[in-house]
Every structure is written in C-alpha cells, then in structure tokens.
Structure 1
C-alpha cells in the first residue's frame, strides 16, 4: 500500500474511532435522545448527498430493506447501547460484525471455514464476553448487548447487499440516509421526549458533533474507504481497519475519562486477535465479511 493511502486509511479509522466516543458523549453525557440523534444524522446525510441519488438503483425494495438494516435499526441499537455502555468497550464489541458476517456467509452463501477462522470466531466472541460480563455482580452489560445486536443487524444488511447490483459508496450512503431518517423520527416521536429541546439546548458542541458525524464520517470516512477498496484487496485493508477500535479505546480513556481495567485490556486483546485472524483469511463467497459493519455505514 502506498504511504499516502495508508495515511488516508489511518485518518479514516481515526475519524471512525473518535466518532463513537463523540456519539457516546452526546447520548449519554449530554442526554440527547439516541433515536432522535440518529435521525438528525441521517437527515443531514440525505441532504448533503442528494446529487448521489441519481441514477436510481433498479431494486429499490431490496435497497429499502438494506437501509433499515444498516441504517435505522443498526444505529438505533448502537446509540441506545451507547447510553449505558462505555465507548471503549463498545468500540471493541462493534468488531463482532466481522465474525458475525462470516457466520452468516456460511449459513446463507455456502462459505466454508477452516480451523483458523473457526478459532478466530471463538476468540472474538470470548473477548467480548470477558468485557461485558462483570464477575463481581454476576451481571452483564445491557448496553453492550445492544451493540452486539447492532453488529448482527448490520451484518444481515451486508448479506442482503449481495443480492443487489453494485452501487458506489456515496450513492449507498445517500439512499440509506433517505430511507432511514423518517423511521427514526417516527420511533423517536413514539418512544422519546423533549427531543428538540434537549438537542437545541445542548448548544454548538452537539451541533458540531452532528456535523462531524455527517461530513467527517459518512461523507469523508466512507467515501475515502470505498476509494481505497477499489485500489486494494479486502485482505490487505481489513486487518488495518482494526485501528478503529484502538482509537475508540484511546479516545474513550482520554476524552471521557473511562477507566482502564484489566478485563477491558485482556478482553480487547483476545477479541481483536480473533478478528485479525478472520480478517487475514480469505472469504470466497463474501470477501466483505472481513470488514464487518464497514461494508455499510461504518463503525459509527
């Protein structure tokens, strides 16, 4: 990989890692309702990317289902999870999209795996279980369960994408934004309160965080990522995207003062080792499985 392209991928992973920390801050510390915050994000994506709605894809019904999976449902679960889960733990847990995508490609696309990827899948889940389970209280983090559900839904969306003719990264973002914001606003109206007041009252830092998510993540991050996917093989890029959860952990500790625990460090090491093993092994039926949720709207 050319050095300038590595720097570009480095920047993309940094943006993704920072954004999950900012999102956690908005919905947990500031208290903006998570469904409403997700709806605002997708509204901005749809508005910014209006020119990319053309040409219209042929299979809009399948695209609508994909948008629900990698857009509305994915981000609803992610942001609800972030209201209680720490950003550093969520950044690692979100990487379960990689083993889940691999398992789904086995179930629905006929992919076969060897013992190495099988071991990687077990390690990825074992590390997350170690992070999520508190042996002191014999409890498990409900927030991280939402993150796992988000990873699963996003991976299902990736499987559905195999049924569609290829579209560009920004065109996919445009249609996901268009199909996602109304369902999110509807569910926010039904299940949340004081949405507009809390969002406006939060002031410019939250508005800036929204703009960062729209422009920095959905437009720059995913646009640059899809550009790199056209230049390089998935097997080269996917292991390098593990910089994303590393940045998520670092920013969570530095910006949100999240504690560094032995359980977090050991669980992250085990889980990310498993994800790395899966990422470097080829998936013939669904090469994008090694990228997990990044085949859709990204990690955050």
Structure 2
C-alpha cells in the first residue's frame, strides 16, 4: 500500500485493523452471496417483485435502529433534490444488475461493476471539481481495456445476437448508474447525511420502485420462494452493517481494496450454482480492472496525504 496507508496503519492497533478487515471481507462475501441468490431467484420472479419483497424485509431489519433514532433522524435531509436523484439512480442500478444477471454469468456482471471506481474518477472531474493527474488518467484508460476484455464484442455479453447485446448494455448502464450513485452519495455525506439516512432512503427507494412495477410483473410464488426473497433483504442489510462497521474500525484506504474479493466469490458461486466457468479473457480483463482500480486508489490516497 501507499506510504499514507502505512501511516494510517500505525495510528490504530493491529487487532482493530484485523477486525476492520474481517468485517469488510464478511460484508463483501454477504453481498456476493446476496447477488448469487438474486440471480437464482430472478428466473422465477419479476425484478420488481424481488425488489419489493427484499426492501420490505430490509425495512424490518432497519426498524429497531429507526425507532431508536426516530423517524425524523432517519428521513430528514438537508438537500432533498440530491437524495431524490440518488434514489432514482439506486432504482436504476439495482434493477439493471438483476436484469443483467438474469442472462449473464454472475462473475461477468460483477467484473463490469468493478470498473465503477474508474468511472467515478472520470466523472468526479466535472461533477466534484477534482483534478486527475496523468497517472490516474492512464490507469483509468488501462482499466477500460480490461472492461473491453470482460465485455468482449465476440463474447458472452456483446455477442452477435441481440439477446446477448441487450443484457450487456444493461450491465454497462448499471455500472454507470452505480458510479453516479457513489458521487451523489459523497455529496449527500458532505451535507450531513449519516449512514442510517442513506440506508433508509436506499431501502425505501428500491421498495417503491418494486411496488410501482408490481401490476406488470407479479409471479405466483410459494412460501419458500417468498422466504428466500426476504432473505435477500436481510443479507443485504447485514452486509451494509458489516462494511459500515469496517470503515469505522479502520481507515478506508486499508479496507476498501478488499472489496475486490467479491470477484473471487462471484466466480466460486457462479461455478458451484450455475456451472459458469470464467473465460481466459474475462479473467485477464478482471485482473486489469482490479489492478487499475488499486492504482487509482493508491494515487488518490497519496495525493490526499501530500495535501494534508
């Protein structure tokens, strides 16, 4: 890691750092399991149905925290337009992800989403007024070469048939929506939004989207499927809690890189449950994306350290 990261590591004891990394690894594993479960269920239910039941279960998980803090603390925001736009992006990103994994291998879609930090780096220039040096700019360009390898024109995503082209475009659209979501989340935090506010609006927004689409996509399901849909919401909420706790225990530059372990989980779960075997080009592309993302994180951390 960068020198700044080593300095941050010296400011906390090893046991706390280990707990922070452990919570990040657990949160990432839970998120990936959640995505795999969603991919399995999305072949039986409509996307809106999945999102509605998932959000209802998540709200039950959040309810004790909301009641303890008060509904006003959980919902009151200083920049409502930012939060409305953020919720719209959340709706598009989550729906796009589940639509994409309905037709594509989980690892391919997860690899595409790993390019989001690279897109954030580019979009932060006009949206946040940040400056990007030539090194980070080059890393972003190299990272998009990795994206092309994962989403290769002749491969599973951008195939010659429209049935593969459309899911590929949806996956890319979801990645861009996620990148925009990250930027808007930064802006919301700058204006005082806490974790409970962000998660509550996230959950309500996804649930509202699912509710509005129910008249056009409700499939008859049994009690087991309903329970599994609810489990998605529970697991996603637990994953959020784990990652937030990890960021409280340890500095972000030390724990954020472990989010890339989601690719390993996606490949393993895809192989076990869906018999998906990653292609060589997909593996090379994913490695390039991860390396580029880590280098961008390294440069950003170094820049912040020098500014301090």
Determine the structure 1 residue equivalent to 2:199.
Answer: 173
Is residue 119 of structure 1 aligned with residue 105 of structure 2?
A: no
Q: Superposed, which structure 2 residues align to 1:1-300 within 5 Å?
A: 2-28=17-43, 31-50=44-63, 51-52=65-66, 53-55=71-73, 56-59=75-78, 60-70=80-90, 72-135=91-154, 138=160, 141-164=165-188, 165-189=191-215, 192-193=216-217, 195-197=218-220, 200-201=221-222, 203-204=223-224, 206-217=225-236, 219-282=237-300
Per the TM alignment, residue 44 of structure 1 is displaced from its structure 2 partner at its CA by 2.3
What secondary structure does 2:42 align onto?
A: helix
What residue is the counterpart of 1:298 in the other structure? Answer: none
CA distance in structure 1 between the partners assigned to 2:106 and 2:227 by the alignment? 19
SS of the aligned residue for 2:293 comes to helix
Q: 1:286 to 1:111 in 2, by over 3 A?
A: farther
CA separation of 1:88/1:175 partners in 2, compared to 1, >3 Å: closer, same or farther? same
Tell me, in whole angstroms, the C-alpha distance in 2 between the residues paired with 1:123 and 1:22.
Answer: 32
Root-mean-square deviation (Å): 2.6
CA contact (8 A) 1:132 1:141 kept: no
Q: Determine the structure 1 residue equivalent to 2:11.
A: none
Distance 1:111 1:284, change over 3 A: farther
- Structure exhibiting the larger radius of gyration computed from Cα positions: 2
- Separation in structure 2 between the aligned mates of residue 285 and residue 75 of structure 1, nearest angstrom: 32
Give the secondary-structure state (helix, strand or coil) at the position aligned to 1:242.
Answer: helix
2:5 — aligned with what?
none
Deviation at 1:89, TM superposition (A): 0.5
Superposed displacement of residue 41, structure 1:
1.4
Contact 2:48 2:214 in 1 (8 A): yes
For structure 1, the 5+ residue unaligned runs are 288-300
Query: 1:99 touches 1:275 (CA, 8 Å); kept in 2?
Result: yes
Q: Aligned partners of 1:135, 1:224: CA distance in 2, in Å?
A: 39
Change (3 A) 1:248 1:166: farther
State the Cα deviation string for residues 216-261 of structure 1 (Å, max 9, x = none): 22x2111121122223222222211111122112211122110232
Matches of 1:105 and 1:230, distance apart in 2? 24
Match of 2:276, SS? coil
* Cα pair 1:36 1:184 within 8 Å, conserved: yes
Q: What is the TM-score of this pair, normalised by structure 2?
A: 0.80
Q: How many residues align?
A: 276
The 4+ residue runs of structure 1 with deviation greater than 6 A are 283-287
Separation (CA, whole Å) in 1 of partners of 2:242 and 2:85: 25
* Separation in structure 2 between the aligned mates of residue 154 and residue 285 of structure 1, nearest angstrom: 24
**Does the Cα contact within 8 Å between 2:27 and 2:239 map onto a contact in 1?**
yes
Q: Which runs of 5+ in 2 are unaligned?
A: 1-13
